[in-house]
Amino acid sequence: MQEFAQANGFKEALLVTDDVVEKADCFFIDGTKSKGIRKDIQRTRHKFCLIAVLGSPERNREILEACPDVLLSPHFAAGKDFMKVRNAGLDSVTCKIAAKNKISIGIDFSEILKAQEQEREILIGRIMQNIRLCRKYKVKMLIATFASSVLEMRSAHDLQAFAQALGMTPKEAQDALHEAGRILMRNQEKKHPSYVSDGIRIVE
């Protein structure tokens, strides 16, 4: 898990001990290709401590109702923007589902880094719109490099500055950096025999 965390930009964002990181594991599902997202999540939930699903405007609601931990890049594979708003993959309905199911919206820094100039402008505009929606509907956000090479790695300080440039407040940016760690700790707590619900355990 440490190698995964380092390669995907999570290591600098985890507010957890090395012991927790070593025991954790993450699973990514391509929501644009999966034929049964809910089944894929249910089949792998007990094996992994964090499940992230790559979104698309056509399937985001289905993905959110299947309850992954993270909906990654909800704007992915989106077509042209609409007349008055961007085709960014989120709206009031999907944001309310995400907030209710405690699903975080993931921002992939490497996606922006790899994009061509014109495409990058569109991506940034869509992400900025989604940040405003997440703020309005109190949806948690997560940002990481998701780097596939050392050249794509960035420090936590750089990611936080970038998140603020996208429109997050300093607190939102810091929370987004630490969100992956919080998810890992929460899901590992759920596996404890004494776990009842969030914040509640059986004490003998």
Does the pLDDT of residue 153 top 90, yes or no?
no
Q: Residue 139: pLDDT above 50? A: yes
Q: Which domains does the chain have, with CATH numbers?
A: 2-201 (3.20.20.140)
Mean pLDDT of the chain: 85
Cβ atoms 120, 162 nearer than 8 A: no
The pLDDT-based confidence of 199 (bands split at 50, 70, 90) is low
Please check the confidence at residue 110 and state whether its pLDDT lies above 60.
yes
d(CA 115, CA 185): 33
The predicted model gives 181-191 an average pLDDT of 86
Please determine, for residue 85, whether its predicted confidence score (pLDDT) is greater than 70: yes
- Confidence tier at 124 by pLDDT (50, 70, 90): very high
pTM: predicted TM-score of the whole model, two decimal places: 0.83
Q: Is the pLDDT of residue 48 over 50?
A: yes
Look up residue 89 and give its two tokens.
Answer: 């993959």
What does the pLDDT look like over 12-38, one tens digit per residue?
Answer: 444 444 444 444 578 889 998 888 999
Q: Each residue of 54-63: pLDDT tens digit? A: 999 999 999 9
Q: Which residues contact 13 (CB under 8 A, 6 or more apart)?
A: 143, 144, 156, 159, 177, 178, 179, 180, 181
